Chain A
């Protein structure tokens, strides 16, 4: 996708956003919306931030496989953390270790790290070499992450590696 096509698609996406937020569909407001969206797209183009990562539509298809799995993981992890918090003795064992990240692109690593942070009980702290430094509230949670199922699925989500 060239820069021109990306600018046009950005204007369209912003316009849909505007229409959803406004809820008033008069000629004046829609005209103002088109002017604002075009201006924002122009600013983004001249700031040179309109690259491939800004619009990753090619991931949408695989997201439908990845997100439901991630939701199930989040539910399981939440119940685990809730049990930890509610048990009177607070049986936590905070651990910090580097977990391998086999994604190739920056976007893939970001996806993986955000998935780690989104799951309660594990936080991605920093990129370290070809891994991610992870803090976990229990040692078991980190061991489960170390088995690498999330890593594999994030790599598959990233695709074209």
Chain B
């Protein structure tokens, strides 16, 4: 029962984030919404693991937690430089 409530709350959050991703207006709103969707997906995987009594879902959630960060950073880097191979030394000068 309690996991059903948690799953419902997470799905509501999912829907809100999808609406924000569709509305924009800037690319950063969309990236933020994508990041939120990612975290919500992790939580949904964990809760579904409990609902279905299959703890293997947690492993997928762990992998997704790592992918979510890398994905967000890669997308941000792409929109800043238009190039994922941009070197670190080009950035050092201004920090």
B93 to A: closest C-beta gap in Å? 14
A88 to chain B, nearest CB (A): 18
B95 with A127: CB separation less than 8 A: yes
Chain A residues closer than 8 Å to B59, beta-carbon distance: 21
**Number of residue pairs A-B, CB distance < 8 angstroms:** 3
Smallest distance from the beta carbon of A114 to chain B beta carbons, Å? 13
Does B73 reach chain A (CB closer than 8 Å)?
no
User: B94 to nearest A CB, angstroms?
Assistant: 10
Please give, as numbers and ranges, the residues of chain A lying within 8 Å of B95 by CB-CB distance.
127
A101 to chain B, nearest CB (A): 14
Q: How far is the CA of A21 from the CA of B55 in the complex (A)?
A: 12
Report if B62 contacts A (CB, 8 A).
yes
Of residues 57 through 95 on chain B, the ones whose CB sits less than 8 Å from some CB of chain A are: 59, 62, 95
Interface string of A114-128 (1 = CB under 8 A from B): 000000000000010
Chain A's closest residue to B56 (CB) is A23
Least CB distance from A26 to B in Å reads 18
- Residues of chain B within 8 A of A127, CB atoms compared: 95
| Smallest CB gap from B59: residue in A | A21
Chain B residues within 8 Å of A21, by CB: 59, 62
Min C-beta distance of B82 to chain A, whole Å: 21
Residue of B nearest to A127 (CB): B95
Instruction: Provide the bound-state CA to CA distance between A127 and B62, in Å.
Output: 31
CB distance from B29 to the nearest CB of A (A): 15
For residue B92, give the distance in angstroms from its CB to the closest CB of chain A.
13
How far apart sit A127 and B92, CA to CA, in the bound complex (Å)? 13
A152 to B62, CA, bound (A): 34
The 3 closest A-B CB pairs, nearest first, are A127-B95, A21-B59, A21-B62
Q: List 3 A-B contacts (CB under 8 A).
A: A21-B59, A21-B62, A127-B95
